[in-house]
Structure 1
Amino acid sequence: MIITTPNTKVNQPTAIALGNFDGIHQGHQIVLQPIISQKSPHLYSSVVSFDPHPRQFFTGQKLSLLTPKQEKADYLATLGFQQLILIPFDETLAALSPQDFVNQILVEQLQTKIISIGEDFRFGYQRKGTAEDLKKIASQLGIEVYINSLHKYQYTQQTSVRVSSSLIRQALLSGELKQANLMLGRSYTLIGEVVKGKQIGRTIGFPTANLQVPPDKFLPRYGVYAVKVNYDNTTVLGVMNIGCRPTVKGELPTVEVHLLDWSGDLYNKTITVSLEAFLRPEQKFNSLDDLKQQIQQDCQEAKALLNREVSVKRLYN
């Protein structure tokens, strides 16, 4: 899987899924499917996205991402894509008319033959181009366009909503992890290198792996989670804390994982932490002894939840 831009080397001609795809949720995967399924050996299956995210460009505010660049590329590779093409989103691109966007970017730079988009796709100056506009312009150039219906999620018994990255962020911030994972179609993950922390956990009998995630990674609600930790093709159950550790007067947010029934050294290893259940919000305790007692309860609850999940999966497999 390569990450490239039109100004560097792009493998051509291309079949592309076009959009932002932050999170690569279930709605996104509907758009990705026609490109995954296309069988031409002469077309490079590609995802074309924008860097920075258009919302960040227009607002000037840094946007935290559900899937930062490398995480997005790695996941797309597992789906069968050959390249992630990031188009620099700047004033020049924002000023292109829909016709010029197709001619200059999709045809001249990418040699696109097949395009897949969502029905709400907008492009060109002031987002004036619609999905139907793209199909009309592309058809005149011999480019095939798939327009995909939006994926809806049963948010409550009475309400179904369109799956979106914004709605997933909202669910994660509210601690509604089950809903977020259902919309994603998989568990939300944090990926990073294990680095040295203050090692306070060791002093109370719960050593933790301090995870350094990409600075633009979206962090869910501060609190304690039941998680699965994958490293070196090994999966271990664990408890993760995200937050500023108010009991020990922490200031900056940290991501710390305690692995259940495990001992070893993870320093400098890259690990993937899958968030399976939200246990409780972050809180301040009166003493380290109180904190230790609560962590023991968290570990017992996490172990029961995660083992029950494993048992159910075995039953139905």
Structure 2
Amino acid sequence: MKVISIKFPIKEKPIKENMVVALGFFDGLHCGHQALIKHAKEIAAKKGLPLGVMTFNRHPKEIYQNDKTFVYLNTLKEKEEKLAKLNVDYMLVVDFDENFSKLEPQEFIDQVVLKLNIDTAVVGFDYTYGPKDVANIENLPKFVKGRFDIVVEPKHMEAGQKVGSTNIRHAIETGKIELANKLLGAPYTTSGIIVKGYRRGHTIGFPTANLKVEGDKVIPAEGVYATRTLIDGKWYNSMTSVGYNDTFENKELTIESHLFGFDEEAYGKAMTIAWYKYMRGNEKFAGIPELSAQLKKDQEDIQKYFNQLDKK
């Protein structure tokens, strides 16, 4: 897959050949996004054309609503990795800046989409390209004027819910990680670098790797989770705590992962946590013995969970 950065105004067409293009932001590349892109791939194969996916380097809310706290399900790097696995030929990343944000719907079609040598656009049922009351699916044919085909992917449902990035973010932020994973079609992941912590876990037999998160990612709700953690190319069953460690009254939020069967110094190394199940909320314990006993029980419960999961 080739990644192409695009900045408006587009002076030269980034791709010379005709393409089928999936349009959207695609945060999380959830089940609905995957269905849309697979459908687009089928259309491209039938027409003998490459498949492109157009996305943005930042969410429109950051510009339109001046939202400096917006958090993502995927970093751009993670999105790239997922699109490559879906056999996309071109990832087209548009720089969503102030200049681009001022485009009228007709200008967006004429000066951006048509610059992609587009044969067919594949979009979700709720796709927008400006103000929702104007730049919606119903009005898209009016702006396109028959210059390329439009294929609309219907609403995608999973676990009785509409599959959408907003719903998934809310599920993660409220500890409903199993629901989020169903909607994503895979465990939610958080990546970054291992940094030094307070090392209290080492003193009570539960050493942890502290994660400094890469990018503005959604952080799961405070609590203890069944996770799998990747270090040096190997996945370990693990238990991960998100919170302030009430027993020791930490002042800043930490993400600490205790990897089963791993006890090495790994500061500075890359680490990825895959979140599977919310186990319990954070508690303040009377002392170290009570905390140690609970951590031992957590490890037993989580190992039992993974043993059952692996049998399915």
TM-score, normalised relative to structure 2: 0.88
Counterpart of 2:295 in structure 1: which amino acid?
I
1:107 to 111, 114, 119: 114
Task: Measure how far apart 1:243 and its partner are.
Answer: 1.4
Is this contact kept in 1: 2:38–2:86, CA < 8 A? no
* Aligned residues of 1:192 and 1:270 also touching (Cα < 8 A): yes
Q: Which runs of 5+ in 1 are unaligned?
A: 155-159, 313-317
In the alignment, which of 64, 68, 71 is matched to residue 58 of structure 1? 64
Residue 180 of structure 1: how far off its partner (Å): 1.2
Corresponding residue SS for 1:247: coil
2:105 counterpart residue number: 98
**Structure 1 residue aligned with 2:276:** 276
1:96 positional shift:
2.3
What does 1:53-132 align with in structure 2 at a 5 Å threshold? 53-61=59-67, 62-108=69-115, 110-124=116-130, 128-132=134-138
Name the residue aligned to 2:239: 239
Per the alignment, residue 212 of structure 1 pairs with: 212
Shift of 1:198: 2.4
Q: Distance in 1 between matches of 2:132 and 2:30?
A: 26
- For residues 27-46 of structure 1, the aligned pairs below 5 Å read 27-37=32-42, 38-39=44-45, 43-46=49-52
Deviation at 1:148, TM superposition (A): 0.4
Judge which range, 284-293 or 123-132, deviates more.
Answer: 123-132
**Which sits farther off after the overlay, 181-190 or 49-58?**
49-58
Aligned: 1:298 with 2:305: no
1:146 maps to 151
Q: What's the CA shift for 1:73?
A: 1.3
Match of 1:23 in 2: 28
Q: Which moved more, 1:37-46 or 1:189-198?
A: 37-46
SS at match of 1:36: helix
Change (3 A) 1:87 1:104: same
Instruction: Answer yes or no: is the 8 Å Cα contact 1:195–1:267 preserved in 2.
Output: yes
Q: Who is 1:285 aligned against?
A: 285
Moved over 6 A (4+): none
Flag the 1:15–1:262 CA change in 2: closer, same or farther, 3 A: same
Please, which moves more after superposition, 52-61 or 291-300?
Answer: 52-61
Give 5+ residue unaligned stretches, structure 2.
none
Matched, 1:188 2:194: no
Alpha carbons of 1:35 and 1:12: their partners in 2 closer, same or farther (altered >3 Å)?
farther
Distance in 1 of aligned mates of 2:80 and 2:39: 18
Contact preservation (8 Å) 1:11, 1:44: no
Letter in 2 for 1:104: Q
- Residue identity opposite 2:110 in structure 1: N
C-alpha separation in 2, matches of 1:84 and 1:248: 46
2:172 aligns to what? 172
Residue 262 of structure 1 corresponds to 262
User: Are the equivalent residues in 1 in contact too, given 2:20–2:40 (CA < 8 A)?
Assistant: yes
User: Which has the larger displacement, 292-301 or 37-46?
Assistant: 37-46
Q: CA deviation at 1:41?
A: 9.4
Contact 1:194 1:269 in 2 (8 A): yes
Compute the RMSD of aligned alpha carbons.
2.3
Shift of 1:135: 3.9
Displacement of 1:83 in angstroms is: 3.5
Provide the C-alpha distance between the structure 1 equivalents of 2:99 and 2:186, rounded to a whole number of angstroms: 37
Name the amino acid aligned to 1:161: Q
The aligned amino acid for 2:122 is S
CA 1:131–1:255: 2 relative to 1, 3 Å: same
The 1-side partners of 2:39 and 2:238 are apart by: 37
Look up the match of 2:55: 49
Contact 2:208 2:257 survives alignment (8 Å): yes
Q: Displacement, 1:46?
A: 2.4
Task: Kindly indicate whether the alpha-carbon contact (under 8 Å) linking 2:36 and 2:124 is maintained by their aligned counterparts in 1.
Answer: yes
Give SS of 1:76's match: helix
Mark the CA change 1:228 to 1:85 in structure 2 (over 3 Å): closer, same or farther.
Answer: same
Deviation per residue, 1:43-76 (Å, 9 max, x gap):
5432212232112222212201011211111111
Alpha-carbon contact 2:178-2:277 (below 8 Å) kept: yes
Identity %: 30
Question: CA contact under 8 A between 1:34 and 1:146: conserved in structure 2?
Answer: no
> Which one is further off, 266-275 or 300-309?
266-275
Distance in structure 2 (CA, Å) of the matches to 1:116 and 1:97 = 20
- How far is the alpha carbon of 1:206 from its aligned partner? 0.8
One-letter code of the match for 2:150?
Answer: V
